[in-house]
Amino acid sequence: MSAATPETIVVKIGSSLLVGEDGKPRREWLKTLVEDIAKRHQAGDNIIIVSSGSIALGARKLGLGKGGRASLADAQAAASIGQIALSSLWSELLGEHQIAAAQMLLTLGDMEGRKRYLNAAATLEKLLEHRAIPVINENDSVATDEIRFGDNDRLAARVGQAATADRVLLLSDIDGLYDRRPDSETKGQFIGTVDIVDENILEMADSSSSSGLGSGGMTSKLEAAKIANLAGIELSIISGQEDHPLERYALTNVGTLFKAGEGINARKAWLSGLTTSAGTITVDAGAVEALQSGSSLLAAGIVTINGQFERSDVVEVKDMDGQTIARGLAEYDALDCTKIIGCRSSEMEALLGYAPRSAVIHRNQMVLV
């Protein structure tokens, strides 16, 4: 990963690396990581840190069981207490290298609403321009089960996408992906490079790689790899067990590298990383075929509309079996969409009372999933 031209690198650190079994930060190890980060920063790279650990740190201070994850209320309270400690730790350790740490606490909504996403992207850009190091975590004290990432692996990939990063490094308590659990009877085969995260690769995921302190196992890492791939970003899972993990990786290259896809334009990259939508449009078989060959969605192929979406909201397109086939920005609100179900363009103006748009979802505003 040593590069001549400066890169933007997202480094994600899991809870079990940051917090020891005694519930305290692993300061000595963290110092070696910060030395690696400072070196790269000094060499001109832009670094963004995605740091877990707030819940684990807060749990100790509050004396909560199950690492603070026994209930949502526990996790939220623990995160409030732990986050303040976590931020000051990063600020102190980066400060020793004369680097300003900049805290950003993000929610799923900040990454899924287009305006808020662009806003977060602009803040990141500004911070990097000032040579600060953003230290990002999910805003766990307000995130609820339904509206949270829950794991910082996917958050790191989304942040990478927002910052148009070159690479995402997921520091983990495992050195990469194995085709089977490494500690099972037949030792797993290590996978050094992955071109594309397909069913085969997904089957290798085994949440046993999670230490119990954090919430991300191999499944969330593979989900993160998919997001990164679509956004044209390389992602690596590397071990954070030893001191100086970044330097070690640069020297040894030991880890699993998920290659970057060709990259799609920024709006499509954003759309493909979404997990929520404001409504559903169900379409007939003819429309499915048309979409899959790259056409826009026309009213003629719509069968039903669900949800109260507004114009420009994200909607899912499903086939008649309920399978999601695409996601895109609606050109009409739900009410007008309902009026034109099954209609041809020539009939639409009279029904709507205004000149119709060329499509219900334009192909440039849509991704196939």
Q: 335-339 — which CB contacts under 8 Å span 24+ positions?
A: 337/281, 337/299, 337/302, 337/305, 338/305
**3-class secondary structure, 61:** helix
Q: Taking Cα atoms as reference points, which of 256, 253, 245, 259 lies closest to residue 14?
A: 245
Q: Which is nearer to ligand GLU, 68 or 301 (CB)?
A: 68
138 binds ligand GLU (CB under 6 A): yes
Task: Give the other-Cβ count within 10 Å of 94's Cβ.
Answer: 22
Applying CB under 6 A, the span of 99-107, 121-129, 134-142, 177-185 interacting with ligand GLU comes to: 134-142
Footprint of ligand GLU on 274-333 (CB under 6 A): none
Q: Which of 8, 46, 76, 215 binds ligand GLU (CB under 6 A)?
A: 215
Q: Which of 160, 214, 217, 301 binds ligand GLU (CB under 6 A)?
A: 214
Pairing of strands 8-13, 46-51: parallel
Measured between alpha carbons, how far is 218 from 221 in angstroms, rounded to an integer?
5
Contact letters for ligand GLU, residues 91-130 (x by CB under 6 A): ----------------------------------------
Q: Which of 8, 87, 137, 209 binds ligand GLU (CB under 6 A)?
A: 137
Supply 172's token pair: 């983990």
Footprint of ligand GLU on 43-72 (CB under 6 A): 52-56
In the bound complex, what is the minimum distance in angstroms from residue 92's beta carbon to ligand GLU? 18
In the bound complex, what is the minimum distance in angstroms from residue 231's beta carbon to ligand GLU? 19
Measured between alpha carbons, how far is 16 from 142 in angstroms, rounded to an integer?
22
23 binds ligand GLU (CB under 6 A): no
Q: Are 41 and 100 in contact (CB under 8 A)?
A: no
Q: Are 179 and 204 in contact (CB under 8 A)?
A: yes
Footprint of ligand GLU on 142-161 (CB under 6 A): 151-152
In the bound complex, what is the minimum distance in angstroms from residue 94's beta carbon to ligand GLU? 18
In the bound complex, what is the minimum distance in angstroms from residue 54's beta carbon to ligand GLU? 4
Measured between alpha carbons, how far is 43 from 246 in angstroms, rounded to an integer?
14
Measured between alpha carbons, how far is 200 from 130 in angstroms, rounded to an integer?
43
DSSP conformation class of 260? P
216 binds ligand GLU (CB under 6 A): yes
Instruction: With CB under 6 A as the rule, give the number of residues binding ligand GLU.
Output: 14
Measured between alpha carbons, how far is 297 from 279 in angstroms, rounded to an integer?
15
In the bound complex, what is the minimum distance in angstroms from residue 142's beta carbon to ligand GLU? 12
In the bound complex, what is the minimum distance in angstroms from residue 13's beta carbon to ligand GLU? 10
**3-class secondary structure, 96:** coil
**Spacing of C-alpha 22 from chain mean position:** 29
Measured between alpha carbons, how far is 42 from 46 in angstroms, rounded to an integer?
9
Instruction: Give the CB-nearest residue to ligand GLU.
Output: 214
In the bound complex, what is the minimum distance in angstroms from residue 51's beta carbon to ligand GLU? 7
Q: What are phi and psi of 302, to 5 degrees?
A: -85, 140
Q: Which is nearer to ligand GLU, 161 or 365 (CB)?
A: 161
Q: Which is nearer to ligand GLU, 48 or 55 (CB)?
A: 55
Q: Which of 140, 175, 331, 336 binds ligand GLU (CB under 6 A)?
A: 140
Applying CB under 6 A, the span of 23-31, 132-140, 160-168, 184-192 interacting with ligand GLU comes to: 132-140
**3-class secondary structure, 42:** helix
Measured between alpha carbons, how far is 218 from 256 in angstroms, rounded to an integer?
12
In the bound complex, what is the minimum distance in angstroms from residue 138's beta carbon to ligand GLU? 4
Applying CB under 6 A, the span of 88-96, 180-188, 214-222, 305-313 interacting with ligand GLU comes to: 214-222
In the bound complex, what is the minimum distance in angstroms from residue 215's beta carbon to ligand GLU? 4
**3-class secondary structure, 196:** coil
- List residues near ligand GLU by CB under 6 A: 15, 52-56, 137-138, 140, 151-152, 214-216
